Structures are given as C-alpha cells and as structure tokens.
Amino acid sequence: MNGGAETRTATVEDPQFADSVTTTSGRTGSTAYLAEVWVNFKRWNRKALRNPFIVVGSVVQPVVFLLLFSEVFGGVVGATIGDAAGVGYLTFLVPAIVIQVALIAASSSGIGLVNDIENGMFEKVLVTPMRRSAVFVGKTLSEMIRVAVQGTLIVVLGVLLGATIETGVLGALAMLGVAVLFSVWFTAFSNVLALVTRDQESTIIGANLLTFPLLFVSSAFLPIESLPGWMQVVARLNPITYGVDATRTLMIEGWNWSALAPDLAVLVGLDVVFGAVAVFMLTRASSARV
C-alpha cells in the first residue's frame, strides 16, 4: 500500500482565476442580506402552510389552558386575584396564555431544524453562499408570524369570553408584539438545542423540560407574591415573568412605560444573547471540532 501517494496533475497558475470564475455570491449590502432573509422566510412559511397540523395543533393546548384555567382555577383563586388586580381572572390569564402560545411555538422551532438536518436540507443551505445569520433570521421571522397568528387567536377568544384590554386594539397589537419579541430567545434556544442534539426526541424533551417549570415558576398563572419564597426568587429571574408582565401591563394597566420599559429591555437583551449563540452554533456547524 502506498501511504504517501497524492494526486498531482498538470495545472497552471492564474492569479486572476478567482476573478474569472462565475460566482453567484457577489451579492453584498443590506438589500442582498434582506433577500437572503426573505428566501428562508418564504421557505419556512411555505412548509408551515403545508403542515397545518403543527399550526393548529400547537394552539390547541393554550386554548384548552385558557378555558380550563379560567373555569377551574378562576373559580378557586379568581376572586382573590381579580380583586387584587381589579379585573376578572380571565383578563389576568389571557396575557399568560399569549406568552404560553409564544413559548410552545418557539419550542417547536428546533424540530424543523432537526428535520432539515435529517433530510439533508441543512447541509444544502450551509453550502450556499447565504449568510448564516440570514438563514437564522429568516427562519425566526417565520416562527414570529406563527406566534402572531396564534396570539391573535387567543386574544380574540379571550375578548369573546369576556376579557377586557385596557389599551384597546392598539394595545392588543402591542401585546402580540411583546409575544413575538418574547418568542425570539426561546426560538434561538430551541434551535441551539437542535444543533447540539441533532435529534428530534431530544430537542422536544429538552424544550418541554424547560417549558412547564418555566411557566409555573413565573407570574403567568398566579401573582409572584403568592408563590413560596424561593419560587419568587426564581420567578424574578425567569424570562417568562418579563413577557407576561409586559403583556399584562398592556392588558390591565395601560401604557405604563415605566413598567413596560424594563420588561422589554430584558426581552431584547435575551433575544440578542440567544440569537448570537444560535448564529455562532450555525457557523460552528462546519467545524470538525464540534
């Protein structure tokens, strides 16, 4: 066996070779970047529409939560909470369910990526000249549309059941904006989980392991003050609390910017950090040292 053999054939040096090669990757600037985002955004939206079960299925659980919690939980603690907040339990609950919808939609984002990894599309995308961040942003924007649609469904259902929105229609839209903002960090987290595990079951289990504890150790279903002492500490560190508090401020208090601003700042910070990690992981996906 000739261990030292290497393939050598006659070639000639051409300093202008690269310049003469037809490459389609010459797109530069913000327009090109947006075009790359748009390409990915379209693909993921198209896939979502082809699979309505995911869109419909992931909204069923929050709807059930809304109905069950408002009926069962509301009867037990609703009066206390309602009195404290000055509103009915349903009005208290709707912001939490809107954030829950965002959380569930975001948690399933990684499953799509694992599918891509399994059917080879992930590599196909990575080997194109598209920027990794544009790939991530396009996919995330598509998830945001889903969050907004599902959030709208919850808000409309809540209003139909008797919930009131202090800030009106504009506030309802702002609530959806908060939900979308909230969804980004968990979408990024779910995608990171997918890139690390490269396995559907692990991605689902990993996301679910966090989803429910995070929901219950937060201000979602009960005021923080009513939680046990240690839980209050965790709840104040829990991103869900900031999402729920911001939407609840809009739902119950109005345009209270001194309450909204810190919550939104935390969400933006989380989005930037987790988004950066996701893009880093996407870039690192082409390293042998993974």
Partner 1 sequence: MQPVSATTSSPAETPRRAAIRADGVSVTYASGTEAVKNVSLTVPEGEFFGFLGPNGAGKTTTIKALVTLLDPTGGAVTVNGFDARRDRRALRGSIGYMAQETSIDLELTARENVRFACEAYGVPRGERTARIDDLLALVDLADVADDQAKTYSGGMKKRLDVATALVHRPPLVFLDEPTTGLDPKARNRLWEYFRRINEEGTTVFLTTQYLEEADQLCDRLAVIDDGRIVAEGTPAELKARVGGDVLSVDLVDADAVTVERAERVVRESGLLDGEGVVSRTDTGLSVTSQRARRVGTDLLVALRDAGILVEGFEVHSPTLDDVFLAITGVPAGERVAGANATTGAGR
Q: If binding is defined by CB under 8 A, does position 30 make contact with partner 1?
A: no
Does residue 245 belong to the site contacting partner 1 (CB under 8 A)? Answer: no
Residue indicated by tokens 């997918």? 194
Binding to partner 1 by CB under 8 A, coded x per residue (else -) over 125-164, reads: xxxxxxx---------------------------------
CB of 165 to partner 1, least distance (A): 37
Residue whose CB is less far from partner 1, 135 or 250: 135
Token duo for residue 199: 């396995």
Considering beta carbons, is residue 13 or 225 the nearer one to partner 1? 13
Task: Specify whether the CB–CB gap between 171 and 165 falls below 8 A.
Answer: yes
How many residues at the interface with partner 1, by CB under 8 A? 54
Is 56 among the residues that bind partner 1 (CB under 8 A)? no
Of 12 and 160, CB closest to partner 1: 12
Distances (CA, A) of 201 to 38, 108, 115, 205, 208: 29, 11, 11, 6, 10
Q: Does position 121 bind partner 1 by CB under 8 A?
A: yes
Q: Which is nearer to partner 1, 125 or 266 (CB)?
A: 125
Residues 138, 132, 104, 259: is their CA dihedral positive or negative?
A: negative
Q: At what angle do helices 109-118 and 89-107 cross, to 10 degrees?
A: 10
Q: Report whether 65 contacts 100 (CB < 8 A).
A: yes
**Angle at alpha carbon of residue 62, lines to 52 and 106, rounded to 5°:** 65
Residue 31 binds partner 1, judged by CB under 8 A: no
**Which tokens go with 163?**
């919930």
Nearest Cα residue to 252 out of 138, 117, 94, 51:
94
Question: Could you say whether residue 47 binds partner 1 (CB under 8 A)?
Answer: yes
The binding site for partner 1 (CB under 8 A) comprises 1-3, 5-27, 32, 35-36, 38-39, 42-43, 46-47, 50-51, 119-121, 123-131, 286-290
